[in-house]
Amino acid sequence: MDEHMATRPAVELAAAIRAREVSSRELLELYLDRVERLNPPINAVVTLDADRARAAADAADAALARGEDVGPLHGLPVTIKDAIETEGIRSTGGAVELTDHVPTHDAPAVARLKEAGAIVFGKTNAPRWSGDIETFNDIFGGSSNPWNVDHITGGSSGGSAAAVAAGLTSFEIGTDIGGSVRIPSHCCGVFGLKPSFGVVPQRGYLDHVGGGTTDADVNVFGPIARSADDLDLLVDVLASPAPELTPAWRVELPSCEARSLDEFRIGVWFDAPECPLGAEYRAMLGATADALSDAGAKLDEGHPPVDFGEQTALFFRLVGAAVSVSAPDEVAEVMAGSHRSWLRAAEQRAALQGVWAEWFEQYDLLVCPVLAVPPFAHVREGNIMERTVEVDGESRAVGSLISWLGLIGVMGLPSAVPPIGRTAAGLPVGVQLVSPYLHDHRSVRAAKLVGEVTGGYQVPPGF
């Protein structure tokens, strides 16, 4: 089989299977072969379930041969982030406490993929309890960027994005509470979507021992892929109510009919003194804005009238409470705070969500940064709040670099990240395309149009 098949978008792979240009088994064997040959330097795929996947691929091919109705993902071999429960496959959340954890059922999101025809053949690396933008843990070690193995993949869905970029899987599903889909997409040069909060069920999320039975505040599950068309398909497959609500509830996201950038009015927000951008990345964002304007988009420097520092502080407050379940006892209570303080923070969030909703009555999209810098060299000593990196000659706390992501995540808004180019050192970067709540398809359509202007996904050298 043509090696280039492995790096084609998922929608093209699914069409090729349906047209019998390639079989599911052939595509699975291609990915398994590439994992064996190409995965070791990047350590993206950490667990395989090859035998069961082969049986499922053979069954998928036989069903197609019988002329049976098939789903939109029929026969596509995929991997899943190790923080998401997957039946019969070790799923650890990157934590030694779950080293041998093999779930007996799928997370609802994984079940949705399988119902649509996807075949899960492995799991991808994540930091402990998905709590870092460096992807490494004490079970599987660290993952590295396919564009430069000395640099981060981003996190926490770092193995997911690296596997997609390197052509080791058809697509991926990650999680995002503080940027964990968006950061790796930015770092690895692929397309990612943080859906609207609540659109994709997040049961089965392994963020602490015994986790996965309730929803985590701010957190979402979202797709990572090689094209915006993939995201468009996948968000429709994944969008559904929590299992106990399915007898009465339906999720039908609004479509987006825009076909060109000149149909969008876009606000641009690139500068905030609380989280300045690296100079090279800032210049690339400016060039992207110019390119979008040249393509007909109506851009101005408008953004919602909110205080950047206040809103990002709210993000850290609410996420601190959400992740306190995995923290050591001596700090967990401080991180969580009182229930009353959480309720006050939730009221503050609701008021700010109203401000954003009103702003979006005049604008279609907000364009803003992802991580404040391009992917940087590995820094793994200490925790995320203790580590620093040098940005334009200044030492910056690693944890502070996610502020632009928290700004959007705490509002529960959909945000798509397309690649916009590569730095002088050859490392990819992306941009956030934010739309109103539940208008996920608008962000995805914008990502498609931006990708057409900026070049979109490119295969990393050697992959």
E-strand spans in 260-410? 265-268, 298-300, 365-368, 388-391, 394-397
Q: Does 180 participate in catalysis according to the annotation?
A: yes
Contacting residues for 369 by C-beta, under 8 A, at least 6 apart:
270, 277, 281, 285, 404, 431, 432
Out of 23, 81, 123, 240, pick the active-site residue: 81
Out of 143, 180, 227, 443, pick the active-site residue: 180
Q: Cα separation of 155 and 159, whole Å?
A: 8
Out of 156, 196, 403, 415, pick the active-site residue: 156
Length of the chain: 463
C-alpha triplet 345, 351, 354: angle, nearest 5°: 140
> 415 with 185: CB under 8 angstroms?
no
* 79, amino acid identity: T
Taking Cα atoms as reference points, which of 38, 25, 373 lies closest to residue 187? 373
E-strand spans in 343-436? 365-368, 388-391, 394-397, 415-417, 419-422, 428-430, 432-434
CA distances from 165 to 120, 192, 226, 378 (A): 18, 11, 7, 18
At 112 the three-state DSSP class reads: helix
Q: Does 156 participate in catalysis according to the annotation?
A: yes
* 187, amino acid identity: C
Taking Cα atoms as reference points, which of 179, 162, 167 lies closest to residue 218? 179
C-alpha triplet 205, 275, 185: angle, nearest 5°: 40
> 88 with 49: CB under 8 angstroms?
yes
Contacting residues for 209 by C-beta, under 8 A, at least 6 apart:
95, 97, 98
Taking Cα atoms as reference points, which of 84, 165, 69 lies closest to residue 125? 84
At 175 the three-state DSSP class reads: strand
Q: Does 123 participate in catalysis according to the annotation?
A: no
Q: Cα separation of 95 and 127, whole Å?
A: 8
Catalytic site residues?
A: 81, 156, 180
